[in-house]
Amino acid sequence: MTKKHISFQLNGRPVDALVEPRELLVHVIREQLGLTGTHIGCETSHCGACTIDLNGDSVKACTVLAMQADGGDVMTVEGLADNGALHPLQEAFMQEHGLQCGFCTPGMLIRAYRFLKKNPNPSDEEIRTGMSGNLCRCTGYQNIIKAVKAAAEKMQSA
Amino acid sequence: MSTSTEKLEREEKLEGIGCSRKRKEDPRFIQGKGNYVDDVKLPGTLFADIVRSPYAHARIKSINKDKALAVPGVHAVLTAADLKPLNLHWMPTLAGDVQAVLADEKVHFQYQEVAVVIADNRYIAADAVDLVEVEYEALPVLVDPHKAMDADAPILREDIKEKADDGKGAHKHPNHIFTWEVGDDEATTQAFNAADVVVTEKMYYPRVHPSPLETCGCVASFDKVKSHLTLYITSQAPHIVRTVVSLLSGIPESKVRVISPDIGGGFGNKVGVYPGYVTAIVASIVLGRPVKWIEDRMEHLSTTAWARDYHMTGALAADKEGRIKALRVNVLADHGAFNSHAQPTKWPAGLFSICTGSYDIPVAHAKVEGVYTNKAPGGVAYRCSFRVTEAVYVIERMMDILAQKLGIDKAEIRRRNFVKPEQFPYHTALGWELDSGDYPKALQKVLEAVDYDGLRREQQEKRARGELMGIGLVTFTEIVGAGPSKACDILGVGMFESAEIRVHPTGSVVARMGTLSTGQGHQTTYAQIIATELGLPSEDIQIEEGDTDTAPYGLGTYGSRSTPVGGAATAMAARKIRDKAARIAAHLLEVSADDLDWEVDRFKVKGVPGQEKTMKEVAWAAYNNVPDGMEMGLEATNYYDPPNFTYPFGAYLCVIDIDKCTGEAKVRRFYALDDCGTRINPMIIEGQIHGGLTEGFAVAMGQQMPFDEQGNLLGNTFMDYFIPTFVETPFWETDYTVTPSPHHPLGAKGVAESPHVGSIPCFTSAIVDAFSHLGVTHMDMPHNAYRVWRKIHELGLDKHE
Ligand code: FES
Ligand code: FES
């Protein structure tokens, strides 16, 4: 299959890749570009483990073609911390015990990141709805909600 | 500053037992730096993908690989015929049966592994899978386990049909796997005959799937030059995997290294050995390159181990006051096409005989009969200890039903039958020794916290208005921490656990265990145990698990065994170190070890203030100044074989409101009180409980794996299979009491499974309670809106007056 050349911003840095038109973005990020923080849990856009930020929206990278990212701006969990300083969401997940096995965590964090940009001061109910595209089998969500709230408060007061 | 404040401060600095210490594993996970199996990248890796059967029962007439092999980038296509010369086309299961690695002449369930394709990448492998041509001849399908032993039932297992007896008793029928009985049948019958009241109920515990967020997978890498195999695998039990791989392949264990990297959840699903693993290993040996196999979600739900599928009949005999005289349970267990449930080998129904629950029941009898059907093999402990979930379900349901029959409140009937605090250790009618408990206290605390009487009054009012509100109540007892090796083994290996602790000269520690964390935070909690035992800060204690080359042999993490067994091994190993340290300290202080007191982090000479040596100082001395005749160094290993199981318990209450138009059941309140003995890290315990309750909610309210009459699995994606999201999941309230286990070195009992085991019957109890005034005694799970609505409709409650 002929490969196409794509370029996009990944966590603030330009990257290039040669991809087959059918290749999924999640595979290109994980396997070609070597960032394995973005996980695969279902490949059918149900679980959200593969959530990334693409051009200012949360998207599930398992159902996006790599070609669709051409020229775009992508952020993954690896781009959350700023020069080694953890993002308030990362801090809050740790403080509030918002993770167990950690498999859903990158997707949760990157979804919460976009969610809080759109709704900086959410209620519990709004967090439940806003995050409902991301599944977790371990935590029962309660501490994730706490973590998102705590991060929101911290970001507001900053 | 008083001495006691100073002492408390030293204690706090250790972050030992009882501290809600933040997790050591989090920094890597929140930065995307976990290392899960699919993240393992070895140079030259090939990808495996599996050709699966569309039929539930069929003969394979031919397999044509030509077109698949012609695809550029395809390296091999393997079938049973290729594995046969290596004698790897079948493999032993943990339950003493065999399972086809790749279908040998016949397929026994839909999605069974028929061939494996090895290619340069996953895309090419998937393309080639579609090009493998398999010709099938469909055979009659056996779906209903009740028909498994009919005279005209299709015989599934032609490979073993000649075996009349495989050591598990005589086979009544070629589809019969085992009959397991426990208790006193005759005395039970007599008690039933003599009883004032008898209640009986049939209930089905549906087939469900643990479905951790990460599916199963492995990377097998065989080094031809060194004849050495490295296997990265999603396994809750890496040491057992190594033994099985070694037995199967003939490669000595010393040349097999199994590494369980970070695991994205297990919940019982990642205990067994699956065909995908074996084919990846074979392919790596044959091709001399690393081979990665990662299943997709559909394969995961369709073929790797599911749980439950118990058709149960419970019966209680009681007097007029509701005091139980006898219990009888009969079970028909659907094991699928191969008996590959993961239970201790001697226990074909696991620890199901804990079905006498928290109650003082004089006689009991339980019988479980296992049969083959044309469904995927399994029957694992989905976040529970070996069939305990089923056992707790049946007894808790029967308690409600007895209460209803006698018109006694369900809290009261439990109170009347509890094993009393003074009766411990209590010997159950089915052979267990309950170690400790205070059931009335737990129940009372919950009833008061939720204002039970107030809830009952509210329910009365609602019923008068025609509204549906249900109150569920459960007082469960679990049996975990398998187990005493005289009672439990897996493939002949006793179910001990191990820990190896090394204290370095500067007082930092590396410790390795045979268990494996799949999200429970062992790196955090084991360090806390060692911190308290040795008086060295948690922060300086490094925990390692999951690499069979470095960790001592252990049976793994499932059945809530890490704290009861692994935690005990850790404490015992640490105590060996402290004993040696005491002798070194005595030597340094020129006194006898008997003259020393241990206090938090130091040895003090009795009655001589200021004469003391800290553990840190002793650690240094252990490497340069030990008493004559003593070996240098400060390390110890312990293999802990527990004297008994542990018996965590709890009291759960659930309030549900049901919409009469839609059948939607909303959990208004869920209050969970757990008693897991000594609490090592309350934050982690609470997290485990939230997770377990959510998985319990999933099972009770929506999970099931339905089959049509052709054996087609009707729900094997996240579209159909219920995984609760943020939106459906209720808010959880948690509480606790502490009744330490008398035989565990720390008094700890294990906790992660209690909320799953205990909550499931509690949801059913609440749902049924909403209809109990209308004579409904039981409703089978899952309690999804459609099924609840059907009950509403059947009772005519949706008619408008
Ligand atoms: S892997 Fe993309 S949503 Fe599940
Ligand atoms: S922490 Fe395991 S899936 Fe969320």
Q: Return the residue whose CA atom lies nearest to atom 2 of ligand 2.
A: A101
CA–CA separation, B21 and B522 (whole Å): 12
Cβ neighbors of B597 (< 8 A, separation 6 or more) are B603, B604, B605, B606
Task: Name which of B214, B519, B726 is nearest A134 in CA terms.
Answer: B726
The answer to whether the beta carbons of residues B354 and B479 sit under 8 Å apart is yes
Give me ligand 2 centre to Cα A15, in Å: 30
Least trusted range by pLDDT, from A93-102, B18-27, B482-491: B482-491
Inter-residue contact A5 to A20 (CB < 8 Å): no
Is there a single domain that holds both residue A75 and residue A95?
no
CB within 8 A of A39, min separation 6: which ones? A49, A50, A103, A104, A106, A107, B36, B38, B213, B214, B264
Give pLDDT tens digits for B665-717: 999 999 999 999 999 999 999 999 999 999 999 999 999 999 999 999 999 99
Find which of B381-390, B469-478, B749-758 is predicted with most confidence, using mean pLDDT.
B469-478
Identify the CATH number of the domain in which residue A135 sits.
1.10.150.120
**What are the pLDDT digits (tens) for A126-153?**
999 999 999 999 999 999 999 999 999 9
Q: Are residues A12 and A75 in the same domain?
A: yes
Q: Are residues A143 and A96 in the same domain?
A: yes
Residue B489, pLDDT above cutoff 90: no
Are residue A75 and residue A102 in the same domain, yes or no? no
pLDDT tens string B614-625: 999 999 999 999
Q: How far is the CA of B693 from the centre of ligand 2 (A)?
A: 14
Distance from B25 to chain A by nearest Cα, in Å? 9
Q: Is A77 in the pocket of ligand 1 (CB under 6 A)?
A: no
Instruction: Tell me if A145 and B726 make a contact (CB, 8 A cut-off).
Output: yes
Class at the top of the CATH hierarchy for domain B307-482+644-794: alpha beta
Q: Answer yes or no: is pLDDT of B4 > 90.
A: no
A101 to B718: CB separation less than 8 angstroms, yes or no: no
Report the range of poorest mean pLDDT among A43-47, A122-126, B79-83, B560-564. B560-564
User: How close does chain B come to A157, measured CA to CA in Å?
Assistant: 22
Tens of pLDDT, residue by residue over A9-42, are: 999 999 999 999 999 999 999 999 999 999 999 9
The pLDDT of residue A154: 96
One-letter identity of residue B186 = E
Among A64-73, B2-11, B154-163, the range with the most confident prediction by mean pLDDT is A64-73
Secondary structure E strands in chain A: 4-10, 13-19, 51-54, 57-60, 73-75
Catalytic site residue from B99, B110, B112, B236: B236
pLDDT of residue B369 exceeding 90:
yes
**Best of A131, A136, A148 for a ligand 2 pocket test (most atoms within 8 Å of beta carbon):** A136
Structure tokens belonging to residue B319: 């007097």
Task: Report residue B560: phi and psi, to 5°.
Answer: 45, 45
Which of B19, B29, B267, B681 to mutate against chain A (most A CBs within 10 Å)? B29
Q: How far is A142 from chain B (nearest CA, A)?
A: 7
Residue B481 banded pLDDT, cuts 50, 70, 90: confident
- For chain B, give the percent of residues with pLDDT over 90: 87
Number of H helices, E strands in chain B: 19, 32
Q: What is the pLDDT of residue B801?
A: 55
Give the end of a domain, one of A79, A103, A126: A79
Task: Give the model's confidence band at B600: pLDDT under 50 very low, under 70 low, under 90 confident, else very high.
Answer: very high
Q: Which of A43, A78, A100 sits opposite B691 (nearest CB)?
A: A100
pLDDT band at B563 (very low <50, low <70, confident <90, very high): confident
Nearest-angstrom CA–CA distance, B783 and B317: 28
Query: What are the b/e assignments for B753-769, b being 16+ CB within 10 Å?
Result: bbbbbbbbbbbbbbbbb
Residue B338 has pLDDT above 60, yes or no: yes
The CATH number given to B4-34+497-640 is 3.30.365.10
Q: Are B724 and B662 in contact (CB under 8 A)?
A: no
Give the position, in ligand 2's atom list, of the atom nearest the Cα of B212: 3
Lowest mean pLDDT among B66-80, B415-429, B473-487: B473-487
End residue of a domain, out of A56, A79, A102: A79
Q: Residue ranges per domain, chain B?
A: 4-34+497-640, 37-139+215-263+270-303, 307-482+644-794
Contact yes or no for B263 and A101 at CB 8 A: yes
The answer on pLDDT for B346 being more than 80 is no
Which pLDDT does position B167 carry in this prediction? 54
Confidence of residue B601 (pLDDT cuts 50, 70, 90): very high
Going by alpha carbons, the residue nearest to atom 4 of ligand 2 is: A136
Which tokens belong to B729? 């999941």
**Intrachain domains B37-139+215-263+270-303 and B307-482+644-794 with the same fold:** no
Interior CA angle at A41 toward A40 and A45, to 5°?
90
- For the purposes of burial, counting CB atoms within 10 Å of the CB of B475, is it exposed (0-12), middle (13-18) or buried (19 or more)? buried
> What confidence tens digit (pLDDT) does each residue in B159-218 have?
987 765 555 567 899 999 999 999 999 999 999 999 999 999 999 999 999 999 999 999
- Model pLDDT, residue A74: 98
Gap from B692 CA to chain A (nearest CA, Å): 8
User: B128-139, pLDDT tens digit by residue?
Assistant: 999 999 999 999
Query: Is B383 labeled as catalytic in the residue annotation?
Result: yes
Report CB contact under 8 Å: B726, A78. no
| Residue A75 and residue A93 in one domain | no
Q: Inter-chain contact B26–A93, Cβ cutoff 8 Å?
A: yes
Q: ipTM of this predicted complex?
A: 0.98
Judged by its nearest atom, the ligand closest to the C-alpha of residue B213 is 2
Is B753 marked active-site? yes
Compute the distance between CA of residue B557 and CA of residue B235 in angstroms, rounded to an integer: 9
Q: Which atom of ligand 1 is nearest to the CA of A133?
A: 3
Ligand 1 within 6 A of CB of A104: no
Q: Where are the alpha helices (DSSP H) in B103-169?
A: 122-131
Whether residue B351 is predicted with pLDDT greater than 80 in this model: the reply is yes
Tokens of A37: 């923080």
In eight-state DSSP terms, residue B535 is: T
Q: Which of B23, B289, B383, B387 is catalytic?
A: B383
**Catalytic residue list contains B444:** no
- Report whether pLDDT(B127) > 60: yes
Give strand ranges (E) for B323-466: 324-334, 363-371, 426-427, 433-434
A98 and A141 assigned to the same domain = yes
pTM: 0.96
- pLDDT tens readout for residues B9-58: 999 999 999 999 999 999 999 999 999 999 999 999 999 999 999 999 99
* Residue B541 pLDDT > 70: yes
| Residue A3 in contact with partner chain B when CB distance is under 8 A | no
A146-150, B479-483, B501-505: segment of lowest average pLDDT? B479-483
SS3 annotation, B161-181 = CCCCECCCCECCCCCEEEEEE
The residue whose CA has the least distance to atom 3 of ligand 2 is: A136
Half-sphere exposure of residue B308: CA atoms within 13 angstroms, side-chain side? 31
Give the ranges where B288-360 is alpha helix by DSSP (H): 297-303
Type of residue numbered B44: G
Longest dimension (CA), chain A: 52
Sign of CA dihedral B439, B442, B444, B447: negative
* pLDDT exceeds cutoff 60 at B1: no
Residues of chain A neighbouring B215 (CB-CB closer than 8 A) = 41
Respond yes or no on whether the N-terminal peptide bond of residue B238 is cis (omega within 30° of 0).
Answer: no
For residue A56, the domain's CATH number is 3.10.20.30
DSSP B660: T
Q: What is the pLDDT of residue B164?
A: 57
Total domains in the fold of chain A: 2
pLDDT in tens, B101-120: 999 999 999 999 999 999 99
Which structural domain range is residue A101 located in?
A: 88-157
* Contact between residue B747 and residue B677 where contact means Cβ atoms under 8 Å apart: yes
Q: How confident is the model at residue B2 (pLDDT cuts 50, 70, 90)?
A: low
CA gap A59, A34 in Å, rounded: 19
What does pLDDT average to over chain B? 95
Contact B111, B376 (CB under 8 A): yes
Q: Do A129 and A149 reside in the same domain of the chain?
A: yes
Of the residues A79, A97, A126, the one at which a domain ends: A79
Of B22, B122, B265, Cβ closest to residue A138 = B265
What topology is assigned to B37-139+215-263+270-303 in CATH?
A: Aldehyde Oxidoreductase; domain 3 (3.90.1170)
Return the higher-pLDDT residue of B248 and B701: B701
B637 CA to centre of own chain = 26
- Say if residue A133 is in the same domain as residue A113: yes
Active site residue B668: no
A132 shares its domain with A67: no
